[in-house]
Structure 1
């Protein structure tokens, strides 16, 4: 059970333990020097607007509650580390064999490992291609290369409001 290249795997956790599991796995990676085998631990988040029209705010919600995504080379050590982390109930897959995410599944979550660098910069005008803000234009105010997210200002209820959106969901106007 050894991968020649890294893949994204899904670990099932107790509900509400996603952040704790992520922190514990990252601590174990550091303690056991597994940075070259377990590359990234992610909890995909989705920006959701909550509240009334005049008192709305954007909050982050887990895209997949009770799941943590892990980009790693699957081998006995990495399987053991993840599987035996407190709060992890197992991998998604038949029996105890983890099944990697497909290219289509990764792309839909913005997790393409060899995705191109961001093609826009602060101050650029962009349009949102999909999601809640589809066809909305805004100005890039902040770029987070690590999380592949961009913060844009959009006009909401007559005032500029910052919204964080995935690189995959925006393009230059």
Structure 2
């Protein structure tokens, strides 16, 4: 009976291992998630493995010759407990499949909008202005943004780190 197992892959070679295993006829699954990163000063949405360097594989250990998996490019070996490959319950894999993001042909890399839209009222939660309300204006570089703060009867434009504000 086929079961799911977990393979440990070499660093940054999960896709290579997945491709080589598919060529050998094995059914594999690598759960992916969409995250927002800062790349070269811009926010980008990218799809990355949920568990870097790990890959689920479905096979029947009693019937199939799984020793060839150790010499597959990109694969280090099985995750083992007590010297035997550990079985991953089917419901765990199915739950991950439901939540996994599928990769698009362009690599799913694109500019991501800012966490806040211009004109959004935010609260400053850290720093010398903590507790004050401000209006989000625009992002500024990798980790900073401009907000408009009412001070002395007019709006002042201040540049603060984005982690210092919340909606």
When the two structures are superposed, what TM-score results if normalisation uses the length of structure 1? 0.49
1:26 is aligned, of 6, 22, 25, to 22
Among residues 1, 6, 16, which one is paired with 2:12 in the alignment? 16
Unaligned regions of 5+ residues in structure 2, if any? Answer: 103-114, 118-167
- Matched residue, 2:33: 46
Residue equivalent to 1:74: 61
More strand by share: 2
Say how many residue pairs are matched: 106
Shift, 1:108, TM fit? 4.2
Q: What corresponds to 1:61 in structure 2? A: 48
Q: Give the conservation status (yes or no) of the 8 Å contact 2:7–2:77.
A: yes
Deviation per CA, 1:60-109: give whole Å up to 9, x if none: 11111111111222236341232231332211112542111124532442
Three-state SS of the structure 2 residue aligned to 1:26 is helix
Q: Give 2:165's aligned residue.
A: none
CA contact (8 A) 1:72 1:78 kept: no
Tell me the distance in 2 between the aligned counterparts of 1:13 and 1:95: 20
TM-score by length of 2: 0.50
Report the counterpart of residue 73 of structure 2 in structure 1.
86
Gaps of 5+ in 1: 30-37, 112-129, 131-143, 145-155, 159-173
Rg: which structure is higher?
2
RMSD: 3.4
